[in-house]
Amino acid sequence: MATILVTDGEQRAALAITRSLGRAGYRVVVLSASGRSLAGASRYAVRDVAVPPAGGDPEAFLAGVVQLAAEEKAEMLFPVTEEALLVLLAHRDAVPAAIPFADLDHFRAVSDKNHVLGVAQSIGIRVPIQYELNTPDDPPPPLSVPFVLKPIRSVWTAPDGTRGRVSVKWVRSREAYERTLRTFPPPAFPILAQEAITGPGTGVFLMLHEGRVLARFAHCRLLEKPPSGGVSVLSRSEVMDEELFEKSVRLLETLGWSGVAMVEFKRDASTGEAVLMEINGRFWGSLQLAIDAGVDFPALLAAATLGERPAPVMTYRPVRMRWEWGLVDHFGIRMKTGGRFSALSDVLKGVFARGEVLRLNDPKPFLRETMEWFRALR
């Protein structure tokens, strides 16, 4: 029975990976900052080991991972967050376990939104109109409001090696532009000023291995947190758009990518055209939806890494999934901003969807998340 380490046990993607690999017969050891994480509470995790956070103390995180991999005689290591990947891919030779992801240079390339959108545009994929801002003093770009300010990289690196995460911010008036731009820390620059694309988000999820597509999946985000755009709290699998599939594969191949990736589009409500937003070269938050639909990305990746030849998975079942406490948060935000009837109507659409964290045969992660939710509320 092979042992696999899964980092960042606080993440929902880590929980989905742990459940997937545990069901497939692997021995799963979870790493987390507290040693009492969401994924670590799963019946499929044999241990939940505390290690320093990858962003706050990269050297101690690496040392903890290397030591644990040696102790457990781990055959594989699944990093979950971008912070963990940046540390571990940079020191791949020091880790005594296979890391089934692309090398650091390719990972950095797909994490660079400006680079990805430039490559996409060169091969005929529509991208948003955007301008690069190099300092907080750059003048407002020639875009109509509202527009968005988006860091080129979701994770910035400070001179001392520590890392932090930044997210998209909306600019809803010219007066708010400078104030919003200055909320980004200096290491996060350059920042992209990007036209706002309104419409549903569509993700194309792929696994490329040894020059072939080993798995594919598509979903649509129905509700997000925050409601203006963010993580999915209610989603559904959808029939693969073959044109988007071909574009996504062509883009990843052009970038020299191997492994799992999420290629994110938004469907422009005014034209119906799909617009590329970014690529995430790692496991995504709503991974459980793909697994429930029959595309078990973690188990496929583990099998391929061990030298097996799993059959490609190109079809899947229709499934709807809700992230329980995320849906509650979405409803709370909507109640504060008005439109209470429409908020309630939208949230009720998730009543009969599958729970993402809550599973009757594995209830402890939901109980742990519930306790954390109420602790944060207080």
Cβ-contact 357, 365 below 8 angstroms: yes
Nearest to residue 50, comparing CAs of 67, 69, 36, 70? 36
Reduce the DSSP state of residue 259 to 3 states and report it.
Answer: strand
| Cα–Cα dist 303/349, whole Å | 36
Helices 340-348 and 324-337 pack at an angle, to 10 degrees, of: 170
Q: Is the pLDDT of residue 352 over 90?
A: no
Range(s) for CATH 3.40.50.20 in the chain? Answer: 3-99
What is the residue-averaged pLDDT of the chain?
A: 94
| 169 HSE (CA, 13 A, CB side) | 19
Residues facing residue 138 across a β-bridge: none
Say which residue, 29 or 160, is predicted with more confidence: 29
Reduce the DSSP state of residue 371 to 3 states and report it.
Answer: helix
Helices 324-337 and 364-377 pack at an angle, to 10 degrees, of: 30
pLDDT in tens, 10-23: 999 999 999 999 99
- The CATH number corresponding to 101-125+198-378 among 2.60.40.10, 3.40.710.10, 3.40.50.170, 3.30.470.20 equals 3.30.470.20
CA distances to 140, 141, 155, 181, 353 from 135, rounded to whole Å, are 11, 13, 17, 9, 44
| Cα–Cα dist 300/84, whole Å | 21
Residue 135, φ and ψ in degrees, nearest 5: -140, 160
Residues facing residue 150 across a β-bridge: 192
pLDDT in tens, 179-194: 999 999 999 999 999 9
Cβ-contact 59, 337 below 8 angstroms: no
- For 25: left if phi > 0, alpha if psi spans -120 to 50, otherwise beta; the answer is left
- The CATH number corresponding to 3-99 among 3.90.1580.10, 3.40.50.2300, 3.40.50.20, 3.40.228.10 equals 3.40.50.20
What residue ranges in 226-342 does DSSP mark as E strands? 231-237, 259-267, 274-280, 320-322
Say which residue, 327 or 228, is predicted with more confidence: 327
Q: What is the pLDDT of residue 221?
A: 85
pTM of the model: 0.94
**What mean pLDDT do residues 332-348 have?**
81
| Cα–Cα dist 169/190, whole Å | 14
| Cα–Cα dist 211/124, whole Å | 22
Range(s) for CATH 3.30.470.20 in the chain? Answer: 101-125+198-378
pLDDT in tens, 90-125: 999 999 999 999 999 999 999 999 999 999 999 999
pLDDT interval class at 261 (50, 70, 90): very high
Q: Is the pLDDT of residue 170 over 90?
A: yes
Q: Is the pLDDT of residue 338 over 80?
A: no
Nearest to residue 299, comparing CAs of 1, 26, 6? 26
Distance separating the N- and C-terminal Cα atoms of the chain = 43
Q: Concatenated DSSP letters for 67-103?
A: HHHHHHT-SEEE--SHHHHHHHHHTGGGSSSB--S--
**What mean pLDDT do residues 321-346 have?**
85
Tell me which long-range contacts 356-360 makes (C-beta under 8 A, separation of at least 24).
356/12, 356/286, 356/288, 356/289, 356/321, 356/322, 356/323, 356/324, 357/12, 357/15, 357/38, 357/323, 357/324, 357/325, 358/324, 359/19
Q: What share of the chain is helix, strand, coil (3-state, %, to 5)?
A: 35, 25, 40
pLDDT interval class at 198 (50, 70, 90): confident
